[in-house]
Structure 1
Amino acid sequence: MALEQPGTSEGNPEAQDGEPIVIKKYANRRLYNTQSSTYVTLETLATMVRRGDDFVVVDAKSGDDLTRAVLAQIIFEQETKGQNLLPVRFLRQLIGLYGDNLQSFVPSYLEASMEAFRKNQEAMRQSLSEAFQTPAGGMQIFENAARQNMALFEQGMAMFGLKTPEHGGPHGGGMPAKEGEVEALRAEIDRLKEELAKKA
């Protein structure tokens, strides 16, 4: 099948009539925006995501949906550039859930968590701006976030009639889950303070 002729711009107009923009991926890994008639890059798609453009990526030959794989590739590219959003511990835990009997619950839980975060972004920015004027204020923000995240987790577990683990170790040893979450956040705050001090 012949490739469509590329245009001269990587612009991405909004999808029309509520339909997602179709991005075709060819065997040579090139990506083609069928709406703007241009070849695009992963960085272009990342910009489209930030802008809120809805798109799907399909295999140009088979028509298979490749959206998930391409979005994961965008995340990988961003992470390798040093823009780290995914802690190593989180990645290990996520990998560990593949094949677990709770695997089917993970997507909806992560979606709910990110949606709650998105809805509160502006309020969080304002709160962080005010709170980080003092170290104690910044600590309080993270402790509140830890409590909210744990509450969301407990709600999700309760939906499926599952008990929330109270302790970190398999035999009930270690600190309670909530306390452990706060301690992890405190350690992260200390690390951020050290980085800021070095840049000052």
Structure 2
Amino acid sequence: MANASSSPDAKAGPAGRPSVTIKKYANRRLYNTETSSYITLEHLAAMTREGRDFQVFDARTGDDITRSVLTQIVMEGEAGGQTMLPTSFLRQIIALYGDSMQSMVPHYLEASMAAFAENQASFRDAALKPFEQLARQNLAMFQAATEMMKGGMLRETAARSTDKPGKRPAPSTDEVAQLKEQLAAIQARIDGLKG
């Protein structure tokens, strides 16, 4: 039986910060000893995504219940529509309980997830490449359209300056303001695509 008082508060987690001790009370409330505040499972999920290491202890018995709390977070995510675990995978996991291979499964899953985490950047790059290419094409089209508009306005301005006075009226302040707004909107779109 683990004791909460002997919990490794000072133990460094994966992100190099000390592991946080969480106490779970009989009323199902979770207490973060680092911030001296009550938290929710959503807080623990956020801490996990940030790479914060934590251990959850039953406040009454001192038992380490981290695994069951993490499982609860996964199940709430699955029930909340954020399904990640295919039904066939869940069936295979259940079938392995009590099987002679059961002791191998945790090591296999840990190694698989570690490999996935290492390759995550490559997966993201591969998934985003088509979108980046599309964004570059759209950006080029917007820039060409902007240049055409600027060139057209310059030609029109040049034509006005060579016209005889009185033939064509100068653009009104409203027309100039409207053109500036249109150019600003196009530029904002281009800047948005660059980001």
TM over 0.5: yes
Q: Which runs of 5+ in 1 are unaligned?
A: 1-14, 134-200
Q: Secondary structure at the match of 1:113?
A: helix
TM-score by length of 1: 0.57
CA distance in 2, matches of 1:105, 1:17: 27
4+ residue segments displaced more than 6 Å: none
- Aligned residue in 2 for 1:70: 69
Deviation at 1:20, TM superposition (A): 1.1
Paired residues in the alignment total 120
Amino acid at match of 2:118: K
**1:131 offset after TM fit, Å?**
6.0
- Shift of the 52–101 alpha-carbon distance from structure 1 to 2, 3 Å rule, reads same
Question: Quick check: 1:99 aligned with 2:98?
Answer: yes
**Which residues of 2 match residues 55-66 of structure 1 at below 5 A?**
55-66=54-65
Distance in 2 of aligned mates of 1:83 and 1:68: 20
Identity across matched positions, percent: 56
Number of the residue aligned with 1:35: 34
In 1, the alpha carbon distance for the partners of 2:114 and 2:93 equals: 19
- Structure 2 stretches lacking a partner, 5+ long: 1-8, 13-17, 133-195
Question: Counting helix residues as a fraction of each chain, which structure ranks higher?
Answer: 2
Higher relative contact order at CA 8 Å, sep ≥6: structure 1 or structure 2?
2
**Which one-letter code corresponds to 1:116 in the other structure?**
A
| Corresponding residue of 2:115 | 116
Higher alpha-carbon Rg: 2
Give me the TM-score of the superposition, normalised by structure 2: 0.58
State the AA in 2 paired with 1:68: R
- TM superposition shift of 1:61: 1.1
Partner of 1:129: 128
- 1:128 CA drift (Å): 1.8
